[in-house]
Amino acid sequence: MPWILPILSFVLGWIAEKLFDILYTKVAIAWQNKKQRQLLSALGQDTDSLNILTIASGFPNFNSSTLQDASITEKRLLLSPPTQMKEKFPESVGRFSDEDISDFHLDLPKVSPEHMDKLIEQAKTEVAEGFAAKSKGLYFNGDMYGVLFAEGFSRTLDEEESPILTIKLFKTDYFTHRVLEEVLSKVRIETKSLTVAQLNSETLAPFRTSLGVSVVVILENSNEILLTERSENAAYGTDSKNIYVSVTESFSSTDIDDYTKTPDFLLCVQRGMFEELGIVRQDINEIDILDMFFEKNHFQDGIVAIAYVRSSITKSDIVSNRAKDRDLEISKIFSIPNEKMKIKNFISANKNSMKPQTIYSLRSYLARISKTK
């Protein structure tokens, strides 16, 4: 039959075309994934000048299945202000622990127990004086969570074998955090070759009293990235104009999922965006958690997140919105184009005015820019 050959040729050609499309797609995805892993590896290695250690990187970001191993432990570390100082605190600064509560031994290499006790007591007085005067960013003693353990060595069981962020937290508060930060400023700890294993040790874990999120906000309306200058009223605020990411927020008890009782970093991002920029949850299209890092200068853990704001929201809407913590945290909001080379050029031109975590967060985003919007 003369019609059989043409039909057979058509079918075989169609099958060959489909097989080629499937093979091409798989090769393209494999190449893109390889490039992505190389960029993430470079991000982890290119941090010496920033004094930042990458703890875990998502591929291309963490999701519900790769953020599954997060928990709040029963451990606590709460230091009490000197009794004579409590009488000087305004009621508005919040509540403090009535006694030292610690499930840890506060020991450091080459520091005797006697000297450590002396340093802690001195730091308690200095920080308490700040709360009494409501200065140096010491306005309210809120609860915080420290990092007992964190790593990204586990992998998913699918063919992607994506990293899983394992993180265990302990309860502390802002007073305790600032006291131990003051102690660390007077004790020399070698951080250049610091490893994840050392951070997770019983010696250093108690000093990891701060976990924050650094949020890079993308405006879909104008395809821009929001950046900020921190107010001199904020904690660590200075007279110099330091450039920060869009939002910098500490993880607290309000960011724990009511049902699962586990840390929810998306809640922390949403809260930070509302309190600092006035952006409500309904105006956020998507949030991606990219990396967890450790900032060695201030001995603080951080998480990088990207948040996409729906196109009906403009920069002028955000600038004119008087958010709850705007005056306390932010002195200026500005934007840069959401374009790879322009982001790189901005970092290069402004690196001396940017905090290490700002540079790290923007580089974290750049490492995924081919996989993001």
pLDDT digits (tens, 9 = 90+) for 61-104: 887 655 667 899 999 999 999 988 888 898 889 999 999 999 99
Report whether 292 contacts 303 (CB < 8 A): yes
- Least confidently predicted of 9-23, 130-144, 321-335, 350-364: 9-23
pLDDT digits (tens, 9 = 90+) for 36-69: 455 555 554 445 578 899 999 887 888 765 566 7
Where residue 373 falls among pLDDT bands split at 50, 70, 90?
A: very low
pTM for this structure? Answer: 0.83
Task: Name the token pair of 46.
Answer: 């290119």
- pLDDT value at residue 18: 63
Residue 123 makes CB contacts below 8 A (sequence gap 6+) with 178, 179, 180, 182, 183, 186
pLDDT digits (tens, 9 = 90+) for 206-221: 999 999 999 999 999 9
| Side chain identity at residue 173, one-letter code | D
> Residue 322 burial by CB count (10 A; 0-12/13-18/19+): exposed, middle or buried?
exposed
> Residue 360 burial by CB count (10 A; 0-12/13-18/19+): exposed, middle or buried?
buried
pLDDT digits (tens, 9 = 90+) for 215-240: 999 999 999 999 998 766 555 555 55
- pLDDT value at residue 246: 94
Rounded to 10°, the helix 174-186/113-133 angle is 130
> Higher model confidence: residue 367 or residue 7?
367
Rounded to the nearest integer, the mean pLDDT of the chain is 84
Distance CA(209)–CA(219), nearest Å, equals 32
Please state the three-class secondary structure of 249-263 as a single string: EECCHHHECCCCCCE
**Domains in the chain, ordered, with CATH?**
72-178 (no CATH), 210-373 (3.90.79.10)
DSSP lists the bridge partners of residue 292 as 56, 303
Rounded to 10°, the helix 356-366/4-45 angle is 170
Where residue 344 falls among pLDDT bands split at 50, 70, 90?
A: very high
- pLDDT value at residue 109: 84
Runs of H (alpha helix) within the chain? 4-45, 83-86, 113-133, 174-186, 196-199, 265-277, 315-320, 326-329, 340-350, 356-366
The stretch 120-126 carries a mean pLDDT of 96
Please tell me what DSSP assigns to residue 354: B
> Residue 127 burial by CB count (10 A; 0-12/13-18/19+): exposed, middle or buried?
buried
Residue 127 vs residues 61, 320, 323: alpha-carbon distances, Å: 38, 35, 28
